[in-house]
Structure 1
Amino acid sequence: MKITDIRATTVAVPLEAPLLHSNGAHWGRFVRTIVEVEADNGLVGLGEMGGGGESAEAAFRALAPYLEGHDPFELEALRFKIANPTASLYNNRTQMLAAIEFACIDLLGQHLGVPAYDLLGGRIRDSVPFASYLFYRYPGASGVPEVRTPGQLVEHARALKAEHGFTVHKLKGGVFPPDYELECYLALAEAFPGDRLRYDPNAVLSMDEGVRFGKAIEHVANDYLEDPVWGLEGLRLVRERVDVPLATNTVVVNFEQLAANVLRRSADVVLLDTTFWGGIRACVKAAGICETFQVGVSVHSSGELGIQLATMLHLGAVLPNLTYAADAHYHHLAGDVIEGGKLPYDGGRIAVPSGPGLGVRLDRDKVAEYVELYRELGGYPYDRDPGRPGWYPLVPNERWADPAVPLGAL
């Protein structure tokens, strides 16, 4: 089996409402690049990458002649062909490698008639648990309400729990002042006394704010405090002062950083991202190192559609040390590009696809619909907020000045 072609298509898939985060916002849609790798036996493997547009599509087109004739079984050679670590000083292709690795693993599974998890060591669980992943948000289409106050946040979490069965709740913070977000977080803890919680301000708190927030939640049933401040050294200093496990998805995203965290412990939990780490196989390797050195493991979400969600599920299926619920933006999507629509939650979990390869296939009509939506709306800057023209993020961040002011519709 040899690669004969690579195709890349940009789509915009709507969200139920625009989601706020410390660095800006998701502007009511996710822009993603769908990657198709075709082989000489007629099979097509699927991959996915965040962002898109002509430059992203052109980059994948440029790889097509370079990878033509490559055997998808040769995944280690693929890594060096696309993202040689020394060449990455000049051309970081890690996320492109991930998308093509996804597609190659999908090809291998289809070719052999086995699910991807069988190629990764075999599944040890049939479904993967997920956290609710709560965002402050602007009002959305069709009357979807804003989420700004503690009461609105609790109501939103109740609705998600009732619909999907979540028992872990993650609040994406860094939007409002820390004391206000602490009030919101404690309201969640009071409303869901039997559930676990986690808080992630995307590393924009000052050292004093991070320590103060961490100490104020020590009595809560926390999974962890994720990236309260920036950098491994900052996390280490907070960890010394706060009796809450610390987690990161921002400053441990490769093996050199993982080694630094092992030698000088800063984070107790590493959130593995199948895109940021360069593929599913890299995350499996990293999880093995974490298992050896007793570093906790969870799975990070970077705004996935069904293709990347499938990679997260196959990863979660094979990791014995996945002791935390995974993150997913998935329930905020208003649609998906895969056949059958969005994969369902059941009791806060999503079943691992059991079909060949990744176990998902494209709904061509939906892809066409979301291609047109991208052509209509285009992309958006991740680090800007459409509700605050002229604002840009700082570290430590200058957050929304007055939580009492309604966020307003877009």
Structure 2
Amino acid sequence: MRNNDIRITHARVTPIAFRDAPLLNASGIHEPWALRSIIELETSDGRLGIAETYGDAPMLVALEQARPLVTGLSPFDLNAMEQRVRASIKPGQGGGVQFELAPGSHTAKNAEKVISALEVAMLDLQGQVLGLPICDLLGGAVRDAVPYSAYLFYKYAEHAEKPYAPDAWGEAVTPEQLVKQAQAMVSQYGFKSIKLKGGVFTPAEEIAGIKALRKAFPDHPLRLDPNANWSLQTSIDAAPELDELLEYYEDPTPGLEGMAQLAAHCRSPLATNMVVTTMDEFRRNASLKAVKILLSDHHYWGGLRATASLARMCEVFGMGMSMHSNSHLGISLMAMTHAAAAIPNLTYACDTHYPWQEEEVIKGGRIQFDQGTVKVPTVPGLGVTLDPARLAVLHQQYLDCGIRNRNDLAQMRKYQPDFSGVSPRF
């Protein structure tokens, strides 16, 4: 069978839920179950391409609308797929809870999110047909391993409802506990840089946490992400101390204009995954000169090819580049790794929530890290395959857990009934 004779015959979308730690953030706290969707595209010659994306109710509506759009296409018809999706999937459909700190929850990005999910599965198929890893389809790997950063969170020891046994990480609400968490994560995964999710406690407490990390890890670059939960004045006041501590200062204050004003008061470069999430915002940032480092995310930027194009744009405008993360499993981690492997100007280690996840949906179990890196696959396609038995287990957890939209605010009110969620809070 010739490549152009191969057609996608079936498209399946399976929502899943997996255990997620009680991680604190600016909007509240993670619920006990994280939601994702697994996409499977079957072809006329018996191949299966896979992808992983968001699993909230609005995303499932959009994915269901997209399923018939891709059937009948060749795995190589990426442009046709994109045109069909943009003509059919409209922004804002589906409702649901949308978080400013999580651009992946924004229904305005429905088309980009669907395109990305279908593109990864189609690239997986292309790689299988051609006998090439996905990174080769993106121009070829420029590194054989992709660096990731330790991603620390303030957290409680266990969830309010106690739906399952507490995780092994324990509580982290003090500088000493943060250091213990970092030591465990660095020891287990070998990470060479460290990021702290802030915006939870007062800036003074979080700066104390960063100082404790600096003392414990004098050679590790440090990052702090308050998720726009600090006012502009608070962010300016914190800048002199943080200039001496941080590799970059991520999204401390809301809005591009606020970040532009802050940039005049700090030496540490500003990074974002919140205020530059579209090309319109990229253009505005280029004129404001607010953000120096962009944390891309193929899930809502429109895919792996769009991420490669975004990297080129960053190079043109003298910006650094890394990657943003949300709660995810190995399929997303491997897609990120292929994209990062093919980007020459990946200037900072990527974010990943992967150490916080205990379950998996791929054959062979969890992906291994070596000295903080994930090895770039050299086998055809994505480099991981779906485990049908595990998929069935995680789908049943989705059916049983009762969560259909992420709601960190409602979850936090189980601990603090008067928690407002108003941002910026400090």
Q: Normalising to structure 1: TM-score of the pair?
A: 0.92
| Separation of aligned partners in 2, 1:71 and 1:388 | 52
Query: Are positions 1:394 and 2:422 aligned together?
Result: yes
The question of whether the paired residues in 2 share the 8 Å contact of 1:128 and 1:350 is answered with: yes
What is the deviation of 1:87?
5.3
2:213 corresponds to 1:188 = yes
Match status 1:218 vs 2:223: no
Instruction: Kindly indicate whether residue 52 of structure 2 is the aligned counterpart of residue 48 of structure 1.
Output: yes
Residue 33 of structure 1: how far off its partner (Å):
0.7
Distance between the aligned counterparts of 1:59 and 1:286, measured in 2?
Answer: 24
Cα distance in 1, alignment partners of residues 92 and 34 from structure 2: 29
CA apart distance, 1:304: 1.8
**Aligned pair 1:76/2:104, yes or no?**
no
In the alignment, the residues of structure 1 paired with residue 118 and residue 28 of structure 2 have an alpha-carbon distance, to the nearest angstrom, of 29
Q: 1:9 aligns with which of 5, 14, 18?
A: 14
Do the aligned partners of 2:66 and 2:89 also contact (CA within 8 Å) in 1? Answer: no
Distance (whole Å) between structure 2 residues aligned to residue 62 and residue 294 of structure 1: 39
Is it true that 1:118 corresponds to 2:123 in the alignment?
no
In the alignment, the residues of structure 2 paired with residue 57 and residue 50 of structure 1 have an alpha-carbon distance, to the nearest angstrom, of: 8
Residues 179-206 of structure 1: CA deviation (Å, up to 9, x unaligned)? 1111111111111111100000111110
Tell me whether 1:260 sits opposite 2:284 in the alignment: yes
1:387 partner SS: coil
Does the CA-based 8 Å contact 1:8-1:60 persist in structure 2?
yes
Match for residue 167 of structure 1?
A: 192
Number of matched pairs: 395
Residues 1:249 and 2:273 are matched in the alignment: yes
Aligned-partner SS, 1:266:
coil
Question: Do the aligned partners of residues 304 and 95 (structure 1) sit closer, same or farther apart at CA in structure 2, a change above 3 Å counting?
Answer: same
> Does the 8 Å CA contact 2:62/2:89 hold for their aligned counterparts?
no
Q: Structure 1 CA distance, aligned partners of 2:70 and 2:370?
A: 40
Distance 1:82 1:26, change over 3 A: same
Contact 2:66 2:114 in 1 (8 A): no
| Alignment partner of 1:300 out of 324, 327, 350 | 324
Q: Are residue 128 (structure 1) and residue 146 (structure 2) matched? A: yes
Question: Using a 3 Å threshold, how does the CA distance of structure 1 residues 392 and 36 change in structure 2: closer, same or farther?
Answer: farther
SS in 2 for 1:275: helix
In the alignment, the residues of structure 2 paired with residue 341 and residue 135 of structure 1 have an alpha-carbon distance, to the nearest angstrom, of 24
1:347 and 1:214 map into 2 onto residues whose CA distance is 31
Separation (CA, whole Å) in 2 of partners of 1:123 and 1:271: 20
**Residue 158 of structure 1 aligns with which residue?**
183
- Give secondary structure in 2 for the equivalent of 1:339: coil
Aligned-pair distance for 1:392? 4.0
Kept in 2, the 8 Å contact 1:383–1:393? The answer is no
Q: CA deviation at 1:142?
A: 4.4
Relative to structure 1, the CA distance from residue 336 to residue 89 in structure 2 (aligned partners, 3 Å threshold; closer, same or farther) is: closer
Letter in 2 for 1:276: Y
- 5 Å-filtered alignment, 1:101-116, equals 101-116=119-134
Q: C-alpha offsets along residues 26-83 of structure 1, whole Å, 9 cap, x if unaligned?
A: 2233210111112222211111112235x64453233222322122212123222213
Q: Which amino acid aligns with 1:191?
A: A
Kindly indicate whether residue 378 of structure 2 is the aligned counterpart of residue 354 of structure 1. yes
- Compute the displacement of 1:85 (Å): 11
Q: Distance in 1 between matches of 2:327 and 2:19?
A: 12
Q: CA deviation at 1:264?
A: 2.1
What is the alpha-carbon distance in structure 1 between the residues aligned to residue 212 and residue 45 of structure 2?
56
Please say if 1:148 is aligned against 2:173.
yes
Contact 2:8 2:71 in 1 (8 A): yes
Q: 2:371 and 2:70 mapped to 1: Cα distance?
A: 42
Note the C-alpha offset of 1:113.
1.2
SS in structure 2 of the partner of residue 276 of structure 1: helix
Structure 2 CA distance for aligned equivalents of residues 2 and 143 of structure 1: 44
AA aligned to 2:27 is N
Structure 1 stretches of 4+ with a deviation exceeding 6 A read none
Change (3 A) 1:85 1:185: farther
Q: Which runs of 5+ in 1 are unaligned?
A: 399-410
Question: Counterpart in 2 of 1:406?
Answer: none
3-state SS of paired residue (1:133) = strand
Are the counterparts in 2 of residues 34 and 47 from structure 1 also a CA contact under 8 Å? yes
Whole-Å separation in 2 of the counterparts to 1:391 and 1:94? 33
> What whole-Å deviation, never above 9, does each CA across 1:272-299 have from its counterpart, x for those lacking one?
1010101111110000011111110001
Contact 1:79 1:97 in 2 (8 A): yes
Number of the residue aligned with 1:402? none
Structure 2, unaligned stretches of length 5 or more? 1-5, 94-107, 159-164
Alpha-carbon distance between aligned partners in 1 of 2:114 and 2:132, rounded to the nearest angstrom: 24
Q: Where does residue 237 of structure 1 map in the other structure?
A: 261
Asked if the contact 2:40/2:121 (under 8 Å) is kept, the reply is: yes
In 2, the alpha carbon distance for the partners of 1:50 and 1:223 equals 30
Match of 1:99 in 2: 117
Aligned to 1:199: 224
Deviates more, 1:82-91 or 1:188-197: 82-91
Identity fraction in percent:
38
What's the offset of the Cα at 1:125? 0.6
| Paired letter, 1:27 | E
Q: Which has the higher mean CA deviation after the structures are superposed, 247-256 or 142-151?
A: 142-151
SS in 1 for 2:368: coil
Does 1:279 pair with 2:297?
Answer: no
- Structure 2 counterpart SS, 1:103: helix
Greater Cα shift, 325-334 or 133-142: 133-142
- The answer as to 2:34 corresponding to 1:30 is yes
Give the aligned residue type for 1:391. Answer: F
Higher mean alpha-carbon deviation, 257-266 vs 128-137, is at 257-266
Q: CA deviation at 1:390?
A: 5.3
Which residue of the partner structure matches residue 346 of structure 2? Answer: 322
**What is the identity, as a one-letter code, of the residue corresponding to 2:215?**
E
Distance 1:279-1:226 versus aligned 2 partners, 3 A rule: same
